[in-house]
Amino acid sequence: MVDNKLILTNYEDYTKIFDALSHPMRIKIAGIIATERKYVSELAKEIQMSRPLLYMHLKKLEEADLVTFNYEISDSGKTMKFYELKSFSFTLTPALLVELSPTIPTVVKEK
């Protein structure tokens, strides 16, 4: 897990995380890359998923700022994209919801 911590400052940060983790496969992917960084092809094989579908899930995790990635060149000259989970911790409590609630506009624009 990467040391650069995720910083949550507003309700939008939380909704991005909730959205990113609302799919079981993204939770599975996050769990795998929390323990060991993986390159895309390796991860796709491990979870038996096509690379295009895996990229869609990784993009959701990126948008929520839950993952980081870097490129490396293999011995054969192939570019490999490695992903790993950022360090984060938050507790979902009624108090947090009370704190966030007044900051949410009555009409929220859908993206």
Tens of pLDDT, residue by residue over 4-56, are 677 888 899 999 999 999 999 999 999 999 999 999 999 999 999 999 999 99
The domain limits of the chain are 2-100
| Whole-prediction pTM | 0.84
| Fold type of domain 2-100 | Arc Repressor Mutant, subunit A (1.10.10)
Distance CA 93, CA 69 (A): 31
| Distance, CA of 110 to CA of 31 (rounded, Å) | 28
What is the C-alpha to C-alpha distance for residues 89 and 5, in angstroms, rounded to an integer?
9
- Rounded-to-integer distance, Cα 45 and Cα 55, Å: 13
CA angle in degrees (0–180, nearest 5) for 38-9-6: 20
